[in-house]
Amino acid sequence: MLKATIGADIFRDTVDALSALVTECRLHFSETEVWARAVDTANVAMIILTLKKEAFNQFEATTGEIGLDIAKLKNTYSMMGKASDIRLEHLDGSNKIEVTFEGYHYSITLLDSNTIKKDPNAPGIELPGQVTISGSELYNVIKSASIVSDKIWFSIEPETKEFVLYAEGDSDNIRRGFSAGEVISSNWGQAKSLFSIDYLKDMGKVMSHAEKVTIDIGVDHPIKFSFEIADGKGQVEYLLAPRIEAD
């Protein structure tokens, strides 16, 4: 059972974070939080999202899970005002989630959880490099890099204390280096990996709203982006597998 009221901005941010990678997911809820963990259809990217009950204006839940069609939730956006309070209700045994705001009432059919990919296990790898920068800065570099290439290098260079993003196309290239004075924080651990810009553009659009994004990276290992939503009462982690180039 879930009965909750949430602000429209937090509702949108949550759904947008999920829809950047997946079209459906299992949504889990308990007395203290709501959470989802899902991978894209190609098993290249993962999202781990948590909203504490404090992110909601009102929150009452018992332990359970439902299957969400995220596109259907996004379809409710068009009629929402920025200051709307969104009422969400799911009763035990029901195959619907009720979404109510400003006189509108959407009754959305849930997906069968058994038809949705199983929740992935969170990877337990330790990545040596970490840097924190603003979400808008990160997204600007990703957008710029997409003009010249479909892939981008992320690297941390301990000797020069520089965080570097570099993309190279057939005839053009772009490099953006962040010095120690330009990042919010870093441990300057050695790291360098290559990633698909197609995935990063979708994730970057969501991350552009974050005041800061912490990036964990290794050498030819997955990359992890961590940032807060809902004024710190929610957390999102994106993980993306690297592109391995043949020698």
Please give the average per-residue pLDDT across 40-55, as a whole number: 96
Contact 224, 128 (CB under 8 A): no
Which residues sit opposite 223 in a β-bridge?
Answer: 240
Phi, psi of 111 (to 5 degrees): -85, 155
Please give the average per-residue pLDDT across 123-134, as a whole number: 92
Whether residues 135 and 234 fall in one domain: yes
Whether residues 10 and 95 fall in one domain: yes
Whether residues 103 and 138 fall in one domain: no
Average pLDDT, the chain: 94
Please give the average per-residue pLDDT across 19-45, as a whole number: 96
The CA angle 61-120-17, to the nearest 5 degrees, is 65
Position 81 pLDDT exceeds 80: no
How many distinct structural domains can be found in the chain? 2
Contact 154, 191 (CB under 8 A): yes
pTM of the predicted structure, to 2 decimals: 0.95
Contact 124, 138 (CB under 8 A): no
Inside any domain, residue 143:
yes
Last residue within a domain, chosen from 48, 83, 115: 115
Position 246 pLDDT exceeds 60: no
Q: Give me the sign of the Cα torsion angle 51, 45, 118, 95.
A: positive
Inside any domain, residue 179:
yes
Inside any domain, residue 246:
no
Whether residues 136 and 109 fall in one domain: no
Whether residues 108 and 23 fall in one domain: yes
Q: At 159, is the secondary structure helix, strand, or coil?
A: coil
Whether residues 196 and 157 fall in one domain: yes
pLDDT score of 183? 97
Q: List pLDDT tens digits, range 172-184.
A: 999 999 999 999 9
Last residue within a domain, chosen from 115, 140, 170: 115
Whether residues 134 and 106 fall in one domain: no
Query: What CATH code is carried by the domain that includes residue 140?
Result: 3.70.10.10
| Environment class of 143 (CB within 10 Å of its CB; exposed 0-12, middle 13-18, buried 19+) | middle
Q: In the chain, where do the E strands start and end?
A: 2-7, 24-29, 33-39, 45-52, 58-61, 64-69, 85-90, 96-101, 104-109, 129-133, 151-157, 162-168, 173-179, 185-186, 191-196, 213-217, 223-229, 234-240
Phi, psi of 102 (to 5 degrees): 45, 45
Inside any domain, residue 97:
yes
Give the range of the structural domain holding residue 223, as residue numbers without chain letter.
Answer: 129-240
Inside any domain, residue 122:
no
Position 108 pLDDT exceeds 80: yes
Whether residues 72 and 95 fall in one domain: yes
CA 43 from chain center: how many Å?
Answer: 15
| Environment class of 1 (CB within 10 Å of its CB; exposed 0-12, middle 13-18, buried 19+) | middle
Please give the average per-residue pLDDT across 32-52, as a whole number: 96
Inside any domain, residue 27:
yes
Q: Look at 26 and 103; give whichever has higher pLDDT.
A: 26
Inside any domain, residue 247:
no
Inside any domain, residue 230:
yes
> Which of these ranges, 6-15, 76-85, 179-188, has the smallest mean pLDDT?
76-85
Whether residues 152 and 103 fall in one domain: no
pLDDT score of 78? 79
